[in-house]
């Protein structure tokens, strides 16, 4: 999902009350265990951008809104009423560094009450009273809510404790970073141009952007000063540029650079959907690439991406843990395993994740990651490379996973390469970008381990 600012009212814009109705539906669905992506896909197209923005904001501040709602209404209202109430409270919550909201407080309260009259008519007066009391007592209520871990950090308590245990020196910064709007980062197609030229083209259109000078990104990563719809990006439809976070852009270059892959080298992208890394690999080299994913529906998105970029790969639906069901017996020169994980490194882009995950998910996903590593490693040719990746900040899905895998291999048969970045934390560390950085991390949380298989004696 691309980041976007909160919607503003104006000529032709959907009424805020309608947006609040659908946002409350989305929040209620997430609380019930549904993915926000799936919920938004069923939202009316004309409302979807605004509902996405409001849902993102609400889910980032859902902990604080839930705490203060409990103070104002200790008896939990029915789910539909509570979802609308916490949505409005989250949108009235003071957020440092984001400036004033695009609508006045009285307007938001009025529109929330209007949404209640349509959605839960009997609760309209109750919602009006709660919101107006919050505005009268906001400073005291905000201070009180921040005394709890849920209200202070806007993550479930188990998540807070896990991050604190895993990263004792950075846990508060990591939790704070997850509540910030991420930058919109582009990957310029290396077959079509350079990042520097694309930045220049944007400037000529009045759109500010910065080229990231990290050598690991190859001069093709561009950060926009202000997010925009993809149809506003010059050359997007023609395949000149794609939206991809800077951390994710490291994958293809880690696997390809220095690998001395011959033209039409055989490469496997396991767990390939939605196809960003698949496409990046094909932009960088002439490959015989198999894109594998267990979900045929998500695999269709890979094909859509390849079609737009005018690239070709073989696509196959299959479980990477069961090569006997899809593998033709030919060894791969390189394998990218972007394994299923908690997505704990990308919660600022997918703020529903923190509310959907459960503590035992880490162990369950770690088991899947281990099974994938063990199943795919024998498919790699001697001298070949396997890049293991997860968009997670939890060491159980990163460093600990790879340490255990290497211990299972015969001595000297699997070699961790020195260019492996390990854990990349989503923390601000790019002071050179000045105002563009705004204290926001310019990359998501990822883990990468590049492992080379020893050549046969």
- At what angle are helices 16-31 and 79-92 packed, to 10 degrees? 120
Backbone angles phi, psi at 268, to 5 degrees: -110, 125
Domain boundary among 204, 219, 243: 243
Contact assessment for residue 260 and residue 327, using Cβ atoms and an 8 Å cutoff? no
Residue 1 lies in a domain: no
Domain boundary among 154, 172, 197: 154
Residue 336 lies in a domain: yes
User: Rounded to two decimals, what is the model's pTM?
Assistant: 0.93
Q: Are residues 90 and 47 both part of a single domain?
A: yes
- Token duo for residue 419: 């260019």
Residue 280 lies in a domain: yes
* pLDDT per residue as tens digits for the range 289-348: 999 999 999 999 999 999 999 999 999 999 999 999 999 999 999 999 999 999 999 999
Q: Are residues 302 and 219 both part of a single domain?
A: no
Alpha-carbon radius of gyration of the chain: 23
Q: Are residues 63 and 205 both part of a single domain?
A: no
Q: For residue 437, what is the domain's CATH number? A: 3.40.50.150
Which residues are designated catalytic? Answer: 391
Residue 345 lies in a domain: yes
pLDDT, position 9: 55
Contact assessment for residue 418 and residue 446, using Cβ atoms and an 8 Å cutoff? no
Residue 381 lies in a domain: yes
Q: Are residues 335 and 423 both part of a single domain?
A: yes
Q: For residue 234, what is the domain's CATH number? A: 3.30.70.1170
Backbone angles phi, psi at 355, to 5 degrees: -85, -15
Q: Are residues 189 and 148 both part of a single domain?
A: no
DSSP characters over 146-199: TTSHHHHH-S-HHHHHHHHHH-TTTHHHHHHHTTSPPP-EEEE-TTT--HHHHH
Domain boundaries, position 192: 185-243
Q: For residue 142, what is the domain's CATH number? A: 1.10.940.10
Q: Are residues 239 and 356 both part of a single domain?
A: no
Domain boundary among 228, 243, 258: 243
Buried residues in 22-39 as b, exposed as e (16+ CB within 10 A): bbbbbbbbbbeeeebeeb
pLDDT, position 437: 47
Please tell me the total count of domains within the chain: 3
Buried residues in 82-108 as b, exposed as e (16+ CB within 10 A): bbbbbbbbbbbbebeeeeebebebeeb
Rounded Cα–Cα distance for residues 280 and 249 (Å): 8
Residue 177 lies in a domain: no
Name the β-bridge partners of 424. Answer: 446
Q: Are residues 228 and 279 both part of a single domain?
A: no
Contact assessment for residue 61 and residue 93, using Cβ atoms and an 8 Å cutoff? yes
Q: Are residues 419 and 270 both part of a single domain?
A: yes
Q: Are residues 292 and 332 both part of a single domain?
A: yes
- At what angle are helices 138-145 and 124-136 packed, to 10 degrees? 90
Rounded Cα–Cα distance for residues 297 and 163 (Å): 33
Contact assessment for residue 291 and residue 316, using Cβ atoms and an 8 Å cutoff? yes
Residue 65 lies in a domain: yes
Mean pLDDT by 10 residues, the chain (457 residues): 58 85 98 96 95 96 97 96 97 78 86 96 97 96 96 98 97 95 96 97 96 94 95 96 97 96 97 97 98 95 96 98 98 98 97 97 98 98 98 98 98 96 86 49 95 87
Q: Are residues 213 and 336 both part of a single domain?
A: no
- Token duo for residue 86: 């916490």
Q: Are residues 235 and 294 both part of a single domain?
A: no
Residue 414 lies in a domain: yes
Q: Are residues 238 and 302 both part of a single domain?
A: no
């Amino acid at each position: 999902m691309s980041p976007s600012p909160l919607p503003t009212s104006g000529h032709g814009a959907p009424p805020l009350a309608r947006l609040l109705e659908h946002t409350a539906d989305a929040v209620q669905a997430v609380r019930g265990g549904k993915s926000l992506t799936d919920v938004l896909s069923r939202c009316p197209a004309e409302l979807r951008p605004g509902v996405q923005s409001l849902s993102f904001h609400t889910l980032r501040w859902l902990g604080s809104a839930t705490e203060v709602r409990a103070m104002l209404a200790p008896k939990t209202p029915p789910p539909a009423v509570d979802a609308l109430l916490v949505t409005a409270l989250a949108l009235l919550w003071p957020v440092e560094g984001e400036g004033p909201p695009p609508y006045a407080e009285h307007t938001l309260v009025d529109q929330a009450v209007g949404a209640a009259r349509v959605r839960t008519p009997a609760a309209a007066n109750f919602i009006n009273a709660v919101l107006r009391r919050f505005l009268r007592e906001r400073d005291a209520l905000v201070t009180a809510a921040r005394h709890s871990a849920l209200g202070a950090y806007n993550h479930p308590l188990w998540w807070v404790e896990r991050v604190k245990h895993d990263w004792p020196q950075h846990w508060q910064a990591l939790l704070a970073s997850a509540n910030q709007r991420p930058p919109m980062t582009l990957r310029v197609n290396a077959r079509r141009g350079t990042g520097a030229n694309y930045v220049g083209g944007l400037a000529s259109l009045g759109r500010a952007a910065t080229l990231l000078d990290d050598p690991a990104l190859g001069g093709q990563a561009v950060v926009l000063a202000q997010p925009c719809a993809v149809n506003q990006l010059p050359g997007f439809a023609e395949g000149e540029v794609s939206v991809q976070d800077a951390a994710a852009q490291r994958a293809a270059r880690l696997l390809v650079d220095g690998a001395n892959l011959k033209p039409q080298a055989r490469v496997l992208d396991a767990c390939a959907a939605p196809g960003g890394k698949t496409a990046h690999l094909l932009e960088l080299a002439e490959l015989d690439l198999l894109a594998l994913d267990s979900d045929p529906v998500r695999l269709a998105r890979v094909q859509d991406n390849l079609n737009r970029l005018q690239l070709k790969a073989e696509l196959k639906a299959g479980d990477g843990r069961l090569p006997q069901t899809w593998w033709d017996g030919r060894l791969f020169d390189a394998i990218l395993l972007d394994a299923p994980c908690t997505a704990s490194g990308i919660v600022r882009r997918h703020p529903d994740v923190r509310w959907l995950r459960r503590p035992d998910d880490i162990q369950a996903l770690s088991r899947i990651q281990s099974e994938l590593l063990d199943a795919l490693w024998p498919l790699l040719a001697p001298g070949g490379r396997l890049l293991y990746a997860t968009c997670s900040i939890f060491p159980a899905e990163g460093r600990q996973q790879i340490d255990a895998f290497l211990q299972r291999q015969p001595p000297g048969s699997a070699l961790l390469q020195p260019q492996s970045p390990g854990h990349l934390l989503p923390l601000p560390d790019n002071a050179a970008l000045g105002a563009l950085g705004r204290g926001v991390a310019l990359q998501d949380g990822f883990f990468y381990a590049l492992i080379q298989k020893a050549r046969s004696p």
